[in-house]
Amino acid sequence: MPELPEVETTRRGLAPHLEGSKVKKVTVRQPSLRWAVPSDLAEKLEGRVIQSIQRRGKYLLFKNTQGTLIGHLGMSGSMRICSGDSEIKKHDHVDIAMANGNILRFHDPRRFGFLLWTEDDPLQHKMLSKLGPEPLSDEFTGKLLHQLSRKRKVPIKNFIMDSCVVVGVGNIYASESLFSAGIRPTRSAGKVSLAAYEQLAEIIRIVLARSIDQGGTTLKDFVNSDGQPGYFAQQLNVYGRAGQACPQCQTEIKSKVIGQRNSFYCPACQK
């Protein structure tokens, strides 16, 4: 599910309800996520204030004075703010109840998401230490993409989905960005010009920022912290539209599996 805009939407929604509040009780109903929920999570969180909620790539970082809860939504996860009397549904795996009455509820049917605890710098955690730049930061440039891609033979779509290159670009936004940049997703990353990468970097930035403004993309199950879907799906040009007309030239949009992921492109607009 969630790519960067969905995770950022979640972070923004959660922060005002949790930051500065004390955790009262942690309830783990299903500890078997992608990685097991730490058995001592409750004692690490209970009685301590959540000082801040940050995001790095698609990871959410909940900080208290002792350490950081690292959360990831996987493919189907969501985090909502619930009240004490709201019904517990199937796949509501973890609750973090706050002293202010709010409950942070982690829901994840496929259980590809996870919750980990670290007392070291979370950015040095094994899972985060090799991440590339944030796409909305100044470090992310076409020049960097060009540099990193020299001699790389992977299709450019795989390249921009590689979190060592840039974080947060998943399957949907990879297809969409390459469409807007006019680049065929199968092209070798190493053969794309600096000028094309400069344009692509700018487009990735714009596409992600616009999606965040719309509250992310809901294809199936993404909901924000209020349980509401995102609205960016209405603005997708090619993703999920195989067989339909390209919005720019009316040519039929094609789909093709690239790197085991379904990809969508216009054979006329994307060279």
Partner DNA sequence: AGTGCGGCCTGTCCGC
Partner DNA sequence: TGCGGACAGGCCGCAC
Catalytic residues: 2-3, 58, 261
Kindly state the smallest distance separating residue 268's Cβ from DNA, in Å: 22
109 interacts with DNA by CB under 7 A: yes
Distance CA(49)–CA(65), nearest Å, equals 8
- If one asks whether residue 215 binds DNA (CB under 7 A), the answer comes out as no
> How many whole angstroms separate alpha carbon 28 and alpha carbon 78?
15
Question: In the range 77-96, which residues lie near DNA by CB under 7 A?
Answer: 90-91
Residue 42, interface with DNA (CB under 7 A)? no
- For residue 166, give the DSSP letter: S
Q: Does 68 bind DNA (CB under 7 A)?
A: no
12 or 152: CB nearest DNA: 152
213-233 burial, b for 16+ CB within 10 Å, e for fewer?
Answer: ebbbbbeebbbbbeeebbebb
Nearest CA among 81, 46, 57, 53 for reference residue 68:
53
Minimum CB distance to DNA smaller for 98 or for 113 = 113
Q: Which residue of 12, 25, 48, 111 would you call a contact of DNA, by CB under 7 A?
A: 111
> Interface with DNA by CB under 7 A: which range of 9-17, 191-199, 220-228, 246-254?
220-228
Using CB under 7 A as the binding rule, whether residue 110 contacts DNA is answered as yes
Stretch that binds DNA, among 15-23, 70-78, 94-102, 207-215 (CB under 7 A): 70-78
Q: 182 — alpha (psi -120 to 50), left (phi > 0) or beta?
A: left
191 belongs to the binding site for DNA (CB under 7 A): no
Q: 119-158: which residues touch DNA (CB under 7 A)? A: 126-127, 151-154, 158
Reported as half-sphere exposure (CB side, CA atoms, 13 A), residue 168 has a value of 29
For 9, phi then psi, to 5°, come to -60, -45
> What's the distance, CA 249 to chain centroid?
30
CA atoms within 13 A on the CB side of 42: 11
Residue 57 corresponds to which amino acid?
G
Task: Give the list of residues 6+ apart from residue 1 with CB closer than 8 angstroms, or none.
Answer: 73, 74, 75, 76, 77, 78, 219, 220, 221, 222
Taking the complex as a whole, the smallest distance from the CB of residue 37 to DNA amounts, in Å, to 12
Which of the residues 160 through 189 are near DNA (CB under 7 A)?
161, 163, 170-172
Please count the residues of this chain forming the interface with DNA, following the rule CB under 7 A. 41
CA distance 126 to 95: 25
For DNA, the binding residue among 40, 120, 260, 271 (CB under 7 A) is: 260
Which residue, 15 or 154, has its beta carbon nearer to DNA? 154
Residue 218 interacts with DNA (CB under 7 A): yes or no: yes
Q: Which residues make up the interface to DNA (CB under 7 A)?
A: 1-3, 6, 32, 34, 57-58, 72, 74-76, 90-91, 109-112, 126-127, 151-154, 158, 161, 163, 170-172, 216-222, 259-262
